Amino acid sequence: MGPLIVGTILLVAMFAVLTVGAWIGIGLAITGWIGMAFFTNSSPGLNLSTAIWQSVASWELAALPLFVWMGEILFRTNLSAQMFTGLAPWLTRIPGRLLHVNVFAGGIFGSVSGSSAATAVTVGKMTVPELKRRGYPDHMSLGSLAGSGTLGILIPPSIIMVVYAVAADVSIIQIFLAGFIPGLLVMALFSGYIIVWSLMNPDQIPADDFGKMSFKEKLIASKELIPCMLLIIMVIGVIVAGYATATEAAAFGVVGSILLAWVGKSLTWENFRESLLGATRLSAMIVFILAGAAYLTLAMGFTGIPRALAEYVAWLNPSKYQLVAVLTVMYVILGTALDGVSMIVLTTTIVLPMIQKVGIDPVWFGIFIVLLVEIAEVTPPVGFVLFVLQSMSGRDSWFVAYASLPFFRMLVVAIIIITAFPDIVTILPRLFVEATQSQPK
Amino acid sequence: MRKTLDSLYLAAAWAGALCVLSICTIMMAQAGLRLNGTLLRGADDVTAWLCAGAAFLPLAATFKRGELVRMGIFIDQFDDKTARWFELIALGVSGTFCCYMAYWLGFMVYESFIYNEKGQGLLPIPIWIPQFPVFLGALVLAIALVDEFLRVASGLVPTYVQQVRDRHAAGDYSGEV
């Protein structure tokens, strides 16, 4: 039997197992077992334990629980309460005024929280009532919230990026660096859309009610926001400067956020315990999917499916743009059924050999895939951010989906821009590699 | 019995949490000592092993809380009565596989033990010691799946469904990525 037929059988089997509701990690491992037991001569049981052990006992993976924990601690501080009062005074002059709070709060909070749904809820809890009270249109406040809730996974440090880096075996640092400019680009696109919309509908934006504040007053209003931003910059900074590895920097981040919580008087034993347990559970969930996928990957390696697919793609000889277009469609479809982590882990081993055949940089591809995960989160029927906003605002899912449509389009524009100008993504990591090579340590 | 099992899951989750705490401590120590010019021998190996424990020990608690993700697009559409049959299939298939997985992980630990295999890095300690928590986590997860299968079979709403509903009703979405 040819590898492509075996691949089809496994795909059907995986779909069946996942559809009845098997947990993703287990479902992937079962598919791997089927492949191993029926289409190879090696022992499925022995390989299962080896694949699990080798994938979870990983030094690089240790960064994951720490980054998650850092987010969980900051998540429980007063930071979220400061989001509105801290950001609003800076943004009253821009057309669209306080709607931009959503974008910036999503960017800042998302970079520490790893979870888009939690970001949307935390930011929304503060901004939605405030914006409504001031008379901002509902569809703009919910739409911008949906869009910027997803920003967190694009702005480093990002948990999804760590997952991709481990799955695709590329450097965490390079992926983090690659995310910076696209993250700013998406924020600019979101804010840009709000500005254009506000200029076209000036009567729908309420007047500035913050009054004049001096620069010093503004600084005082955002006094708890600034240390948090400094902490994030420091965490990225130590990695880039080469003082510490990604895992060590994550540990710095944890200690730094505990200090911030302590200074802000929100460090209680309960917060500490809940953040630690919450982070442990969340990262265990992610690593379990990685372990299941590692076994499936091993099984597929034995059956030769990824190589056959890559050769098939090479034989079709598509241009980069054609392949990117096909993959975009594939991921948008997958994203309607799967969450971001599963989607990345599941596809990386199959897709990576293909994209390398046509000469696409795996670091660029990482950012591309993260953008697609963002899109998936605001696409019905299972966009989680949509679901969260729906229950928060009391509006039906169509209203929320419709409200987030313009921001969905902005994400598509971002994909088009990074495809047309891949340097936006690759320039920072390339400069970093050049800098580290020119001065060997 | 209910209480014993629930404390088992919680204890395993705490063991995993301690692994995370230890990773953090070791990383800080390593970075601190590097400034001093000294190297922490074998720290990378220990971190990798702790990472393995941190990944598998909390799985049962994660599963019970409904934080282990699955593809809910179909199963969430049904009312509780119809969903029950799907839940039983999902739990049956997953439970069987997890027992199988726990068996083979146990076999790996056993083999490492009798052949006295050592760690390959800077720390030549018997490798079965760091492998054991992975087996233990898989075993507790298998127990939790069987436990849940029996609960659903007796007509109860699955714990992992109920817990998610309770959390969402309280406005807590922190369990979702």
Q: Of the segments A2-11, A326-335, B9-18, B163-172, which one has the largest average pLDDT value?
A: B9-18
> Cα distance from B172 to chain A (closest Cα, Å)?
8
- The pLDDT mean for chain A works out to 85
DSSP string computed for A363-416: HHHHHHHHHHHHHHHTSTTT-HHHHHHHHHH---HHHHHHHHHHHHHHHHHHHH
Whether the pLDDT of residue A317 is over 90: the answer is no
d(CA A211, CA A72): 35
Residue A441's pLDDT is what? 43
User: Which of A22, A48, A62 lies at the smallest CB-CB distance from B51?
Assistant: A62
What digits encode the pLDDT tens for the residues A34-45?
Answer: 999 998 888 999
Residue A206's pLDDT is what? 82
d(CA A32, CA A134): 55
Question: How confident is the model over A112-138, as a mean pLDDT?
Answer: 80
Collect all residues with Cβ–Cβ distance below 8 Å to A216 and sequence separation of at least 6: none
- The pLDDT mean for chain B works out to 90
> Cα distance from B92 to chain A (closest Cα, Å)?
9
User: Which of A279, A287, A382 lies at the smallest CB-CB distance from B55?
Assistant: A287
Question: How confident is the model over A295-313, as a mean pLDDT?
Answer: 84
Question: How confident is the model over A310-317, as a mean pLDDT?
Answer: 81
pLDDT band for position A3 (cuts 50, 70, 90)? confident
Residue B126's pLDDT is what? 92
Length of chain A: 441
| Tokens read off for A51 | 């694949």
- Count of Cβ atoms closer than 10 Å to residue B120 Cβ: 9
Q: What is the pTM of this model?
A: 0.87
Residue A359's pLDDT is what? 86
Nearest CA in chain A to B161: A21
d(CA A124, CA A129): 8
Higher pLDDT, A192 or A387: A192
Enter the DSSP assignment of B86.
Answer: H
- Count of Cβ atoms closer than 10 Å to residue A144 Cβ: 29
| Tokens read off for B156 | 């109860």
Residue B55's pLDDT is what? 94
Residue type for position A233: I
- Count of Cβ atoms closer than 10 Å to residue A327 Cβ: 19
> Cα distance from A337 to chain B (closest Cα, Å)?
6
Q: Give helix then strand counts, H and E, for chain B.
A: 6, 0
Chain B residues lying within 8 Å of A52, measured CB to CB: 101, 105, 134
> Cα distance from A242 to chain B (closest Cα, Å)?
11
Question: How confident is the model over A95-113, as a mean pLDDT?
Answer: 84
Chain B residues lying within 8 Å of A275, measured CB to CB: none
pLDDT band for position A225 (cuts 50, 70, 90)? confident
Q: In this complex, do B65 and A281 lie within 8 Å of one another by their Cβ atoms?
A: yes
A19 contacts B64 by C-beta, under 8 angstroms = no
A37 contacts A303 by C-beta, under 8 angstroms = no
d(CA A66, CA A162): 11
Residue B89's pLDDT is what? 94
3-class DSSP state of B119: coil
Q: In this complex, do A277 and B13 lie within 8 Å of one another by their Cβ atoms?
A: yes
Higher pLDDT, B118 or A381: B118
Chain A residues lying within 8 Å of B100, measured CB to CB: 45, 48
Nearest CA in chain A to B75: A21
d(CA B149, CA B90): 9
Nearest CA in chain B to A273: B17
Q: In this complex, do A26 and B94 lie within 8 Å of one another by their Cβ atoms?
A: yes
> Cα distance from A44 to chain B (closest Cα, Å)?
10
Distance of CA A103 to the CA centre of its chain: 15
Q: In this complex, do B131 and A53 lie within 8 Å of one another by their Cβ atoms?
A: yes
Q: Which residue in A28, A42, A46, A53 has the most chain B C-beta atoms within 10 A of its own C-beta, making it the best mutation to test that interface? A: A53
Length of chain B: 177
Collect all residues with Cβ–Cβ distance below 8 Å to A414 and sequence separation of at least 6: A182, A185, A186, A189, A371
Higher pLDDT, A308 or A392: A308
Chains A and B form CB pairs within 8 A to the count of 223
Lowest-confidence pick of A27-31, A223-227, A256-260, A365-369:
A223-227
Whether the pLDDT of residue A207 is over 80: the answer is no
Enter the DSSP assignment of A59.
Answer: T
Q: In this complex, do B54 and A283 lie within 8 Å of one another by their Cβ atoms?
A: yes
Q: Give helix then strand counts, H and E, for chain A.
A: 21, 0
Question: How confident is the model over A87-98, as a mean pLDDT?
Answer: 84
What digits encode the pLDDT tens for the residues A272-292?
Answer: 999 999 999 988 998 999 999
Whether the pLDDT of residue A260 is over 50: the answer is yes
> Cα distance from A89 to chain B (closest Cα, Å)?
28
Residue type for position A422: P
- Sites in chain B below the pLDDT cut of 50: none
CA distances from A380 to A157, A215, A404, B174 (A): 27, 43, 11, 21
- Quote the Cα angle for A19-A23-A28, to 5°: 80
User: Which of B44, B69, B101 lies at the smallest CB-CB distance from A29?
Assistant: B101
Residue type for position A91: L
Collect all residues with Cβ–Cβ distance below 8 Å to A80 and sequence separation of at least 6: A109, A122, A123, A125, A126
Chain A residues lying within 8 Å of B54, measured CB to CB: 62, 65, 280, 283-284, 287
Nearest CA in chain B to A283: B55
B9 contacts B144 by C-beta, under 8 angstroms = yes
Q: What are phi and psi of A77, to 5 degrees?
A: -85, -175
d(CA A374, CA A189): 14
* ipTM of this complex: 0.94
